[in-house]
Structure 1
Amino acid sequence: MGRWEPDARGRLEQAALVLYAERGFDQTTVEDIAVRAGLTKRTFFRHYADKRDVLFAGAGVLQERVLDAVTGAPRTSSAIGAVAAGLEAAAGLLQDRHEEASARQAVIEANPELRERELVKLADLARTVAEALRTRGVPDRTATLAAEAGIAAFKVAFTGWIGQSPPPDLAPLIHEALDDLKSAVSDVR
């Protein structure tokens, strides 16, 4: 067993995605993942609390990247402009992970419990983006609307992105979704 080879965390993530695709999420155990990665269950639990965490481990990094970009957007940016900057940062993080993101999303879509957790993750991201906008002086309701609309645009763009092979750049897809949103409300008074 190669338990002292480098990148145990990456090997566990890769093994989990392969097994979830082969057997399904519910039929895969922590032990299965550890064995496939050439590691022990104990090593698995040093990195993850449970087998769901393998799919959601990057959420903190993604949120941090988005928030840094929202906070660092030019002061002259509109609320949705600052959100767009955050979503571009997310695109930069995900762009080279198309295959992994597609496999991860397929596992999530096949399991209602995981879909719920994904929605909670995105709602938390919207909440923290709205708070970042408020610290920029954006009024409460505008901050909430911009954050929620931005996350909705991101979800639409992400779904389109993972559905394409070879993958296009994700950032332009996000901007297209934001433009579609503008068009959808252009005649609203």
Structure 2
Amino acid sequence: MRKVQSSFYRCEGGVDVVVDGFAYAVTVRQEFPQSTNPERSARLVVEIVHGLTGRPGRWRDRKGRTLEQALGVVLGEIEARAVEDARRRVSEERAREEREVRWRAAVEEAKERAAREQIAEVLREEAGCWREAVAIGEYCDALERRLGELEEDWDERSLESGRRWLAWAREYVRDIDPLQPSRYADST
């Protein structure tokens, strides 16, 4: 059962007919208000505002049919428009829901991409630190061999300075090497 409401506008000669929440402005006016011919000036026109539809919206008194006889057609047209508008509303709501689902999926995908990129950046930084640790470690090995070779030629003070530098460099390598077990120890 459809809910039908109406409101009348005296000075405009119109009424709003509301069917299932959709309002349709219906106006009744003289077709030829300036005519001096009584038959012609008595002819009426009923119009429904077109809105979003391409459906017929105007009915007139004619010799073969009076406007009163066409009122069933006018009411049927209002009913048909209400059905179309209800379908349109459902379609628009479905489209809105689909857009919202796509939006949520896009946001989720963007979050995942951002998290993946952030993790990849950490990985690149750790790989760089690892390369640096490997290079400095190789340097330390070469320095240790060289210190061993020069032990007889250098004085003790120079050798001790070289050994302190080597110890500091090896400690530095342990600090920056991301593969050291101490880097992954639980800090709690």
- Give the TM-score of the pair, scaled to structure 1: 0.20
Which of the pair has more CA radius of gyration?
A: 2
Please give the TM-score of this superposition, normalised by the length of structure 2: 0.20
Structure with greater helix percent? 1
More strand by share: 2
